[in-house]
Structure 1
Amino acid sequence: MSKPRFLLVVFPAQGHVNPALQLAKRLVLIGCDVTFVTTIRAHRRMITKGGGSGGGNDNNIRDNNFTPPNGMSFTPFSDGYDEGFDKKPVDIIDYISELRHHGTQALKDLIQSGNNEGRPYTCMIYTLIMPWAADVAEELEISVALFWVQTATVFDVSYYYFHGYGDLIRDKYSNKDYLGSLTFPGLPLDLTVRDLPSFLVASDSDSKMGSFIKFFQEQFDVIDKESQRPKILINTFDALESEALRAISIDKLKMIGVGPLFNPIDVCESDDNKSMISEWLDSKPKGSVIYVSFGTIAVLSKLQMEEIAKGLLNFGRPFLWVIRENDKKAEEQEEEEEKLSCRGELEKLGMIVP
């Protein structure tokens, strides 16, 4: 009997890549073959920086000569931004459209290639903001599951937002009832508007957040129209979110906790940089440090970084500011007078890390 063969289709953000990579490794360990599919840009980042966990510190991948374990392969595709965004304004709707266009064809070609080789794919797993991948799986009659990289509670709240609770949430937000109680079926705690993901309470004037609402709406539309009971793999575990994993009727969808998905190397080992950060944090009063990070998608302009820097200085609290390697490279390429004007003052007050 041939091995089950999985396609793991991953949105090119580190918060998706890291847990997806750990999921892929677990599938390989139980005897499956896995083809990891993401963009060329994200794949390059995995190889040069590592993709083990939030710290991107997987020793197996940090080496540019990394060889995937038996049963695991990588097939990156171009989304039209192979060299990154280069600080150019990119409309998120246009980008997602390009990603869909290039990704759909890449998946179809890959699946067809597997069929031609006599090694067809048996299941596709895809991450958030990639609902078109499910459409490809449905069209080509491949079993499909969504890998939700956030918690089960966030999935439940998002599901309810698009299934009867959206008006209530929007009304509370528009009336500035930020602390009013919100109760969702099956969830053990009452929540408030302030507890919800920011994209769910975005105002109409916030075009970027409004775009994410559309993306999530499309995601849940795809889930609703699946011909078989939808399967949702969630980066959590039963002992942590047992009620949240069962909050939505099992007749509607099947939620499966597959977490926690992190790289144990990051927990068991530390390097000099981690020790330095830990020692610095331990030297500060509890709850006093501001954490600043904008993920792997946002590209900040020089002006925006200056404004953030001035805000941190004006606030006067210690901070830990994550500036990605590509941001630092762009900064180094600028003329000396174009670098952060207050870098010296910043480093006296807080810590800047890659």
Structure 2
Amino acid sequence: MAKGHVLVLPMPCQGHVIPFMELSHRLADEGFEVTFVNTEVDHALVVAALPPGGAAELRQRRIHLAAIPDGLAGDEDRKDLNKLIDAYSRHMPGHLERLIGEIEAGAGGGRPKVRWLVGDVNMGWSFAVARRLGIRVVSFWAASTACLAIMLKIPKLIEDGVLNEKGWPERQETLQLAPGMPPLHTSLLSWNNSGAAEGQHIIFDLVCRNNKFNDDLAEMTVCNSFHEAEPAVFKLFPDLLPIGPLVADRELRRPVGHFLPEDAGCLDWLDAQPDGSVVYVAFGSLAIFDARQFQELAVGLELTGRPFLWVVRPDFTPGLSTAWLDAFRRRVAGRGVIVEWCSQQRVLAHAAVACFVSHCGWNSTLEGVRNGVPFLCWPYFCDQFLDRSYITAVWRTGLAVAAGEEDGVVTRDEVRSKVEQVVGDGEIRERARLLRDTARACVSEGGSSHKNFRKFIDLLSE
């Protein structure tokens, strides 16, 4: 008999689904039954991308995949966060309540009733649905805790005249909530660079509502971070409990909810490369490059003369010339490998990887940190600029690319030069190694994240 039944609800984005699935595996290890709720579109992607036997493994582990509509039509752009957030905030509460009713109606068939919701802080509306139905709530924050801290400080930032009532900066300045926290320019606040400016109010309003939902309805907030990575934040907000860096299993083989099938062949290619030689390049699930920027990056990687592994999603560069890409592939054949998606965690754990050219999403950041990999930072939007600040200014485990002031393009020479600087800097490598050792100690028996995870499990076991 399961310890209890937990409903898990991530924000419908790849960067949230993965850590929530990792957490679900950890809950299953502790004896809980889990119902993992995706939107219908994301659910279909996850199921289609599962490796052979993946669906059976999830069922065997008592992780049930469920789906509800997000409120958008089938052909609408779900990479437009303003549109996605507006739709799911209005439509998903009723669908979630219906799903819980269906689970409750079938509870006599051997599955216990849902006792807890572990919900994304970005899905705060779900906390109200759960509490109304007698279900207790723990919130989970999947990005850097510094990002959440800035959101929680919005009333103070408005009071101090840094922001206006609509969330736009009143002053162009570098913001730092406390010593030791990552500095961030006010023009790069996450709710102001996540989509079209005319829809900014949708995300800012959501953040403000979620702060209230979280304060009023969640009994605990856990974070995919570790104390020593963000000590200043946890001093400022001691009630936020870091339980990371999360992994589904030590072997990194359990399915974690990827939206695209993983290309396993690149791991065999990595096996044939010398240790510390490969430049790994990946920009997550949402970044888009125009054709010129794609070509500059490609030629820059070629100019390094180093082996590289580059993840290029099918939708990464709309309008790129197929002939140009085919010619590039021929020129770098054997030395450069391009895949549509891969098991990033297993790639970053590979001894052949020398550095990570990254958009600095928090999952990617933690995965690089956990494996002691130096970074070349190339943020795209949202909280990624804050993560870049951690890497370059606080931990000092990497450098950042600089775009041209006139056209905003990162040139091939900039790519080549910065890759060489990162790979050749022994002090960066040593700091990355030390942070890796600290991260691993935190999740080991007696570490700070391990102790916090036990508190979390004890609460769910009540």
Q: TM-score, normalised by structure 1?
A: 0.70
Matched, 1:177 2:173: yes
Aligned to 1:259, which of 244, 247, 256?
A: 244
What's the CA shift for 1:144?
0.9
Change (3 A) 1:204 1:240: closer
CA distance in 2 between partners of 1:281 and 1:208 (Å): 46
* Residues 146-196 of structure 1, C-alpha deviations (whole Å, 9 max, x = no match): 110123333223322x23025555599665434xx6243xxx505422499
Change (3 A) 1:132 1:277: farther
Kept after mapping to 2: 8 A contact 1:126/1:145: yes
Q: 2:222 corresponds to which residue?
A: 233
Q: 1:54 corresponds to which residue?
A: none
What's the CA shift for 1:215?
2.8
2:236 match: secondary structure: coil
1:256 match: secondary structure: strand
CA distance in 1 between partners of 2:90 and 2:171 (Å): 39
Kept after mapping to 2: 8 A contact 1:41/1:81: no
What's the CA shift for 1:140?
1.9
Amino acid of the structure 2 residue aligned with 1:342: W
Change (3 A) 1:204 1:129: closer
Amino acid of the structure 2 residue aligned with 1:164: K
CA distance in 2 between partners of 1:21 and 1:82 (Å): 26
Give the alignment of 1:199-218 within 5 angstroms. Answer: 199=190, 202=193, 206-207=197-198, 211-218=202-209
Q: 2:134 corresponds to which residue?
A: 141
Q: How many residues align?
A: 314
CA distance in 1 between partners of 2:253 and 2:60 (Å): 21
Kept after mapping to 1: 8 A contact 2:141/2:222: yes
Matched, 1:342 2:295: no
2:208 match: secondary structure: helix
Kept after mapping to 2: 8 A contact 1:3/1:31: yes
Amino acid of the structure 2 residue aligned with 1:49: A
Matched, 1:165 2:157: yes
Give the alignment of 1:1-354 within 5 angstroms. Answer: 3-50=3-50, 61=54, 66-79=57-70, 85=76, 92-116=81-105, 117=107, 119-160=112-153, 162-166=154-158, 169-170=162-163, 175-178=171-174, 182-184=176-178, 189-194=180-185, 198-199=189-190, 202=193, 206-207=197-198, 211-226=202-217, 230-241=219-230, 244-248=233-237, 254-263=239-248, 264-266=250-252, 271-276=264-269, 279=273, 282-283=276-277, 291=281, 293=283, 295-297=284-286, 300=288, 305-312=290-297, 321-325=310-314, 327=315, 339-344=321-326, 346-347=328-329, 348=331, 352-354=338-340
What's the CA shift for 1:20?
0.8
Q: CA RMSD in A?
A: 4.1
CA distance in 1 between partners of 2:47 and 2:194 (Å): 38
CA distance in 2 between partners of 1:265 and 1:109 (Å): 37
Kept after mapping to 1: 8 A contact 2:172/2:185: no
What's the CA shift for 1:110?
2.2
Amino acid of the structure 2 residue aligned with 1:159: L
Kept after mapping to 2: 8 A contact 1:77/1:106: yes
Q: 1:55 corresponds to which residue?
A: none
Q: 1:334 corresponds to which residue?
A: none
Kept after mapping to 2: 8 A contact 1:199/1:210: no
1:46 match: secondary structure: helix
Unmatched runs of 5 consecutive residues or more in structure 1? 51-57, 332-336
CA distance in 1 between partners of 2:41 and 2:78 (Å): 17
2:240 match: secondary structure: strand
Amino acid of the structure 2 residue aligned with 1:182: Q
2:252 match: secondary structure: helix
Amino acid of the structure 2 residue aligned with 1:111: I
What's the CA shift for 1:126?
1.1
What's the CA shift for 1:223?
1.9
Change (3 A) 1:110 1:203: closer
CA distance in 1 between partners of 2:291 and 2:251 (Å): 35
* Residues 44-86 of structure 1, C-alpha deviations (whole Å, 9 max, x = no match): 3223334xxxxxxx7763xx6555234321111232568665x
Amino acid of the structure 2 residue aligned with 1:216: V
What's the CA shift for 1:297?
4.5
Q: TM-score, normalised by structure 2?
A: 0.56
CA distance in 2 between partners of 1:267 and 1:204 (Å): 34
Amino acid of the structure 1 residue aligned with 2:97: K
Kept after mapping to 1: 8 A contact 2:6/2:117: yes
CA distance in 2 between partners of 1:196 and 1:4 (Å): 45
Unmatched runs of 5 consecutive residues or more in structure 2? 255-262, 341-462
Kept after mapping to 2: 8 A contact 1:202/1:210: no
Kept after mapping to 1: 8 A contact 2:142/2:223: yes
What's the CA shift for 1:43?
2.0
What's the CA shift for 1:343?
0.9
Q: 2:362 corresponds to which residue?
A: none
The sequence identity of aligned pairs, in percent, is 19
Kept after mapping to 2: 8 A contact 1:77/1:103: yes
Kept after mapping to 1: 8 A contact 2:117/2:138: yes
Kept after mapping to 1: 8 A contact 2:82/2:200: no
Change (3 A) 1:191 1:242: closer
